[in-house]
Amino acid sequence: MNTFPETRAQVVVEGALDEDLGGFPGLDVTSSAIIPPTQRSTAHVVARADGVVAGIPLISLVFRAVTERIGSREVAVELHFEDGDAVRTGDVIGILRGSTRAILVGERTMLNLISRLSGVATQTRQWADALEGTGAMVLDTRKTTPGLRALEKYAVRCGGGTNKRMGLYDVAMIKDNHKLAAGSVSAAFDAVHGTYPAVDIQVEVTTSAEALEAVSAGARFLLCDNMSVDQLRSAVEAVRGTGEEVQIEATGGLTLAAARAYAETGVDFLSVGALTHSAPILDIALDLVPDKT
């Protein structure tokens, strides 16, 4: 189940509003000077490009927080799409009805967040579609925007991707610097397993020989880093030949164009930092129209 991280989202929303309004409760000097507190409007949240939406619950969260800050009446939110839905240019994602001032105060915070998350979901869907039928899944990484990890990883799930570890605390990942510090793959693995026996351990490898060393040490999840398709295929064959049940991930420098070729080597996963660190936003806008009520 892809549960929206509401508690974390509330923290993000309050922080974003503090940035925009100069603290709590803050001030929008333009809207407060121009718009009477009693003025009401209707606004449409509109997709300006095709994509996959994520973060739709943030629309209600943002305007609830804004109305509490400025003391206005509630902004009613009518949603036409859910997270994970595909949208086309011109689709009305939601309709807002209520205080004009509140709508304009919260506009940019809301758009920044849902455009960002929808961009992540849209990019992830492209990778998921490219891997369809191969048996391999696309994973995210820790290359996320500081403070937005829970939301960005949620957006990856909305796009059809799978989360890897959430942080340094839940899964051990032995990388090159750890191996150098410990002296070898085996020494690093033994140190982690001995200290935290209940924690899953993943080991980054760069050659077939290193992959076999890691499996011999007890590793059951390998990250095959920066290998060519041929090198990866050889590593997969070598590991599968041990008879051990080992999950194998391709990582490092992967591109969407080459995704299927890598997946067809027999790996279980492709991890792609670009799902989060390089996803362009999905262009979403807010169009204000006079309220007819």
The answer to whether residues 55 and 118 touch, using CB atoms and an 8 Å cutoff, is yes
Token pair, residue 92, equals 């009305």
Q: Is 175 a catalytic residue?
A: yes
Token pair, residue 198, equals 């209940």
Q: Which of 91, 152, 225, 249 is catalytic?
A: 225
Q: Is 179 a catalytic residue?
A: no
Q: Which of 28, 107, 140, 204 is catalytic?
A: 204
Q: Is 143 a catalytic residue?
A: yes
CA–CA separation, 197 and 284 (whole Å): 46
| Residue 89, SS3 per DSSP | coil
List 45's β-bridge partners, or say none.
Answer: 94, 286
Q: Which of 143, 165, 220, 260 is catalytic?
A: 143
The answer to whether residues 200 and 247 touch, using CB atoms and an 8 Å cutoff, is no
Q: Which of 78, 132, 175, 287 is catalytic?
A: 175
Alpha-carbon torsion (252, 258, 263, 265), positive or negative: negative
Strand order of the β-sheet with 76-79 is 76-79, 92-99, 40-47, 284-290
Q: Which of 48, 64, 108, 220 is catalytic?
A: 108
Q: Could you give phi then psi for residue 146, rounded to 5 degrees? A: -50, 130
| Residue 92, SS3 per DSSP | strand
Q: Is 153 a catalytic residue?
A: no
CA–CA separation, 37 and 55 (whole Å): 28
Token pair, residue 151, equals 């939301």
Beta-sheet pairing, 221-225 with 247-251: parallel
CA–CA separation, 113 and 148 (whole Å): 9
Q: What are the residue ranges of helices labelled H in the chain?
A: 6-21, 29-34, 57-70, 100-131, 149-158, 176-182, 185-195, 208-217, 229-240, 259-263, 274-277
Q: Residues with catalytic annotation?
A: 108, 143, 175, 204, 225
